[in-house]
Amino acid sequence: QVQLQESGPGLVKPSETLSLTCTVSGASISSSYWSWIRQSPGKGLEWIGYISDSGSTNYNPSLESRVTISLDTSKNQLSLKLSSVTAADTAVYYCARFYYNSHAYWVFDFWGQGTLVTVSS
Amino acid sequence: IQLTQSPSSLSASVGDRVTITCRASQGISSYLAWFQQKPGKAPKLLIFGASTLQSGVPSRFSGSGFGTDFTLTISSLQPEDFATYYCQQLNTYPRTFGQGTKVEIK
């Protein structure tokens, strides 16, 4: 069973960089694609981006100038960095496996429990 | 691609048949998934490919549609089905979600 666990500061000051880590167990980080998704009351569920098993990335254009997703294969972790945050970035942040299944469909099949990040001074 | 779900919320009783619709702003073939989310929990994948049930999901859930119009049906609502349901398109980037449909107890 694939399990994901997000971690990181729950409070970030405006204009600073939000940094989160997702630790994966039950699967190698090098065996699939991985994604970050966030959920805020105002904007619902928003896909942030993905990183492939080889490290290539694809970001939501609405966030692309501020987002970096990376892998640490030695720790089986992926990370998210979002710079120049504002109150609008307050949300629950989820990591999820982005998997090409045997039916030839991409799916977000395993998710972490999510971590709330509040942007406030 | 914008996804519009209807209704935004509904009230239903245990045993009722419930249908939720999701309309895409442009054609997405069958690249649509449905998720269930309960308060404080992550979304759970129910259906992918518009109509294929994810492993372990009860058969009372079903999905249909192609192109721009899709439906999620719960054939006989159970107490554990009261939750918010989201559709998601996986045809183009950025991946987008519907705004959600909250299913409440009548």
According to the model, what pLDDT value does residue B28 have?
Answer: 98
| A74-100 confidence digits (pLDDT tens) | 999 999 999 999 999 999 999 999 999
Cβ contact A61–B94 (<8 Å): yes
In three-state secondary structure terms, A13 is coil
| A5-49 confidence digits (pLDDT tens) | 999 999 999 999 999 999 999 999 999 999 999 999 777 899 999
Length of chain A: 121
Chain B contacts in chain A segment 53-72 (CB below 8 A): 58, 60-62
A42/B contact by beta carbon, under 8 A: no
Which chain B residues contact residue A107 at CB under 8 A?
33, 45, 48, 54, 90
- In angstroms, rounded to a whole number, what is the distance separating the alpha carbons of residues B36 and B24? 19
Q: Fill in the DSSP letter of residue B8.
A: S
With 90 as the cut, is the pLDDT of residue A63 above it? yes
In three-state secondary structure terms, A62 is coil
Which chain A residues contact residue B31 at CB under 8 A?
105-106
The values of phi and psi at residue B98, to 5°, are -70, 170
According to the model, what pLDDT value does residue B29 have?
Answer: 97
Low-confidence ranges of chain B (pLDDT < 70): none
Bridge partners of A82, per DSSP, are A18, A67
CA trace torsion B95, A78, A111, B23 (10° rounding): 0
According to the model, what pLDDT value does residue A43 have?
Answer: 74
With 80 as the cut, is the pLDDT of residue A60 above it? yes
Closest partner residue to B86 among A45, A101, A112, by Cβ?
Answer: A45
According to the model, what pLDDT value does residue A48 have?
Answer: 98
